Amino acid sequence: MALLSSLKPSEFRVLLLINEYLQVNRKRGFTYRGLRAYWSMKKIYKDNNDPAREWHTVERTIRRLAERGFLERKFYKKGRSKYVVFFPSPLFWELMEEREGLIHG
């Protein structure tokens, strides 16, 4: 419960969004572009009560989660462009297990 209680609602919501994206798409990591396409497809921006309804908030939260150790950043270069891929850290998976434990009791 210690990990869950340390999160802001927007952080928790973005972690759930990331977990769902990884599970549905069977991916190990994500880019801003890939997650944004999923976010848009799910129409999260239409729910006024959702803490992740603004994409700018999602981007900021992803960076904050990386700083806090929930996500690991890997930088890649493809041709002349650079991009970052985020991967869940062991702390991310520990939090997801903690959440599952609360759900299934």
pLDDT band at 6 (very low <50, low <70, confident <90, very high): confident
Q: Does position 29 have pLDDT exceeding 90, yes or no?
A: yes
- Sequence-distant (6+) residues with CB within 8 A of 51 are 9, 10, 13, 14, 57
Instruction: Summarize pLDDT for 33-82 with one digit per residue, the tens.
Output: 999 999 888 877 677 777 777 888 899 999 999 999 999 999 999 889 89
Topology of the domain covering 2-104: Arc Repressor Mutant, subunit A (1.10.10)
Domain limits of the chain?
Answer: 2-104
Q: Which amino acid is at 57?
A: T
Q: Averaged over 10-32, what is the pLDDT?
A: 93
Mean per-residue pLDDT, 81-93: 94
Specify the pLDDT at position 75.
Answer: 94
**Residue keyed to tokens 């850290």:** 89
